Chain A
């Protein structure tokens, strides 16, 4: 069964610090997709990025960057020069497909950025 582990329950940083959110996954499939979502206090889950199992290229989008390493089954997320608006719960998720389109979420990491 697929599994996603986000070992960091809560992280607190001061504005402008860099912060990395860890995600480790387990799957037996060779084809799968990994996602990161942001959930601000308002409750809506906001999609940030998707990565498929065949593409290990790292990606940068503004202050956000992602490091996908199949060798360690990790898909880590770094925020550079954090801002107060980055405060939210961040979820890593894994999708293997199949009949149920089942996407499994990690437990989430609550990031607090203090001014």
Chain B
């Protein structure tokens, strides 16, 4: 069992749907991350929420929007996604940049 919990584990959605991916950690970590990973590629950083500040990878399209309700939760809202957005979405948390990031099991997202 991982200490970072992601739900759902699998999601299939149409291009016009709105859905959310949820990520929760109870390790008291101050930083949380969203990554996108395509098949046979390394994870690519999308967003970082660290010490109450959100940082965005400028290449991430606006149809992805993060939300941090509190220090333990980092959600990812999805709207009007494209087929190329199909991927494994990984959430992670860490105490700070010097410490290892702990990853969840991921959400496998398929866009029809």
Contact = CB atoms under 8 A, between A and B. Distances in A.
Interface string B53-66: 10100000000000
Nearest to A31: B98
B45 A103 contact: yes
B8 to A, nearest CB: 14
Interface residues of A, number: 26
B51 to A, nearest CB: 9
Contact of A50 (B96, B99, B106): B99
A44 B94 contact: no
Contacts of B42: 91, 105-108
Contacts of B88: 43
A30 interface: no
B85 interface: no
B31 A101 contact: yes
Q: Which bucket holds chain B's interface residue count?
A: 20 to 34
A33 B100 CA distance: 9
Contacts of A44: 2, 103-106
Interface in A87-114: 91, 95-103, 105-108, 110
Contacts of B53: 99
Interface in B15-66: 31, 33, 40-43, 45, 48, 50, 53, 55
